[in-house]
């Protein structure tokens, strides 16, 4: 492992066998375990755990106090907010070992998960979706979906830049920041 390609704070623990991309930064009291893969230009905040077999794409931002357990895969440009939670077993019991029952969780490109949200294992969070702070995600979230609450429910759509989209009668909307156009058809949003 070439430790010159990334930065790790002296209090961070990076186990042998972890793969870490160039330009990544690992901050105070974080633990990166063997067998995980962290892409280029990722930032792991303070007190972050990355378990074996976790895969993080490029430019993933993980805020303080997040544990990313085995079974989680985050594509490029994902944002994980402070103290958000992933699970990896549906029915955990302390007296039973269920490592063979880990359910995969996929967070697709550009999605953001807000502070203190919980993502129950086995779901897919679509590209550029926005999960509100404190939400409890128990089912798949579509690309560009905006979900809030417990259990999380979809209340609308957002652009790649994270702005709420307001569709006209023709199912068309424009991001106020980027000027990108979006189309809503059959409860699916796509960029034009």
As a whole number, mean pLDDT of residues 7-22 equals 98
In this prediction, residue 138 carries a pLDDT of 98
Q: What is the pLDDT of residues 143-175, one digit of tens each?
A: 999 999 999 999 999 999 999 999 999 999 999
In this prediction, residue 101 carries a pLDDT of 87
Provide the domain count of the chain: 1
Q: Cα(122)–Cα(124) distance, rounded to whole angstroms?
A: 7
Q: Cα(160)–Cα(130) distance, rounded to whole angstroms?
A: 10
Q: What is the pLDDT of residues 47-70, one digit of tens each?
A: 999 999 999 999 999 999 999 999
In this prediction, residue 116 carries a pLDDT of 98
CB neighbour list of residue 136: distance below 8 Å, 6 or more residues apart: 117, 118, 120, 149, 150, 151, 152
Query: Does residue 25 lie within any of the structural domains?
Result: yes
pTM above 0.75, yes or no: yes
Query: Does residue 14 lie within any of the structural domains?
Result: yes
CATH number for the domain that contains residue 99:
2.160.10.10
CB neighbour list of residue 164: distance below 8 Å, 6 or more residues apart: 146, 156, 157, 158
Query: Does residue 179 lie within any of the structural domains?
Result: no
Using alpha carbons only, give the angle 22, 24, 28 rounded to the nearest 5 degrees. Answer: 145
As a whole number, mean pLDDT of residues 72-101 equals 94
Percent of the chain with pLDDT strictly greater than 90 = 95
As a whole number, mean pLDDT of residues 2-16 equals 91
Instruction: Round the CA-based radius of gyration of the chain to a whole number and report it.
Output: 17
As a whole number, mean pLDDT of residues 74-82 equals 98
In this prediction, residue 2 carries a pLDDT of 58
Give the confidence band of 36 by pLDDT, cuts at 50, 70, 90: very high
Q: Which domain holds residue 55?
A: 3-160
Query: Does residue 177 lie within any of the structural domains?
Result: no
Where are the strands (E) in 100-159, listed by range? 105-107, 112-113, 118-119, 124-125, 130-131, 136-137, 145-148, 153-157
Query: Does residue 190 lie within any of the structural domains?
Result: no
In this prediction, residue 63 carries a pLDDT of 98
Q: What is the pLDDT of residues 93-145, one digit of tens each?
A: 999 999 888 999 999 999 999 999 999 999 999 999 999 999 999 999 999 99
Q: Is residue 73 over pLDDT 90?
A: yes
Query: Does residue 101 lie within any of the structural domains?
Result: yes
Query: Does residue 15 lie within any of the structural domains?
Result: yes
Q: Is residue 35 over pLDDT 60?
A: yes
Q: Is residue 1 over pLDDT 80?
A: no
3-state SS of the chain: helix, strand, coil percent to 5? 5, 35, 60
């Amino acid at each position: 492992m070439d430790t010159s390609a990334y930065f790790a704070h002296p209090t961070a623990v990076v186990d042998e066998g972890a793969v870490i991309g160039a330009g990544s930064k690992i901050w105070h009291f974080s633990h990166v375990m063997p067998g995980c893969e962290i892409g280029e230009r990722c930032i792991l905040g303070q007190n972050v755990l990355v378990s074996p077999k976790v895969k993080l794409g490029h430019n993933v931002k993980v805020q303080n106090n997040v544990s990313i357990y085995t079974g989680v895969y985050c594509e490029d440009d994902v944002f994980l907010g402070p103290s958000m939670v992933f699970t990896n077993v549906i029915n955990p019991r302390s007296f039973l070992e269920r490592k063979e029952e880990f359910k995969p969780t996929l967070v697709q490109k550009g999605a953001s998960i807000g502070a203190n949200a919980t993502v129950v294992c086995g779901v897919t969070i679509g590209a550029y979706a926005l999960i509100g702070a404190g939400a409890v995600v128990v089912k798949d979230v579509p690309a560009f979906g905006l979900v809030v609450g417990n259990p999380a429910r979809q209340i609308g759509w957002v652009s790649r830049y994270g702005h709420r989209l307001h569709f006209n009668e023709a199912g068309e909307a424009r991001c106020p920041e980027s000027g990108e156009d979006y189309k809503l058809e059959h409860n699916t949003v796509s960029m034009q």
